[in-house]
């Protein structure tokens, strides 16, 4: 009977160690996630580049994202185009004249 009790205590003891280990591993993985390199949401937003942020717009010439606060703007009717530089703006206008002319 004493052996039986001892074996049960052994099982409980081992189970407790396994539980603690499992919890430590779980904690480790959960804790490692937010601080992972690359930042959160980077791959998630790649599907919709136009709506990454309200404060950024895509330069139609070179395709890079520019802050609408510092961009070079070109108003075309109801739409406002944002360019990273005067170079891109001029290139866009030249291309457009080429197409329409
Ligand atoms: Zn550009």
Residue 48 C-alpha to ligand 1 middle, in angstroms? 19
Alpha carbon distances (Å) from 18 to 14, 21, 24, 29, 99? 6, 5, 10, 16, 70
pLDDT in tens, 24-46: 888 888 887 655 555 555 545 44
- Alpha carbon distance 34, 49 (integer Å): 23
Whether residue 73 is predicted with pLDDT greater than 50 in this model: the reply is yes
Phi, psi of 79 (to 5 degrees): -105, 145
Residue the block writes with tokens 């197409």? 99
Whether 47 shows a pLDDT value over 80: the answer reads: no
Which of 34, 35, 58 lies closest to 48, judged by CA? 58
Listed range (9-18, 57-66, 87-96) with the worst mean pLDDT? 9-18
79 or 47: which carries more pLDDT confidence? 79
State in Å: Cα 86 to ligand 1 middle. Answer: 8
Determine the distance separating the centroid of ligand 1 and the alpha carbon of 88, expressed in angstroms. 5
| Mean pLDDT across 87-99 | 88
Per-residue model confidence (pLDDT) at position 31: 82
């Amino acid at each position: 009977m004493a052996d039986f009790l001892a074996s049960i205590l052994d099982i409980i003891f081992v189970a407790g160690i396994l539980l603690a280990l499992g919890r430590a591993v779980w904690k480790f993985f959960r804790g490692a996630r937010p601080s992972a390199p690359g930042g959160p949401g980077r791959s998630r937003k790649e599907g919709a580049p136009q709506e990454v942020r309200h404060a950024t717009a895509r330069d139609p010439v070179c395709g890079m994202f520019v802050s609408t606060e510092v961009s070079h703007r070109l108003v075309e009717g109801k739409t406002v185009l944002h360019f990273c530089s005067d170079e891109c703006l001029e290139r866009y206008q030249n291309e457009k004249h080429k197409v329409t002319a």
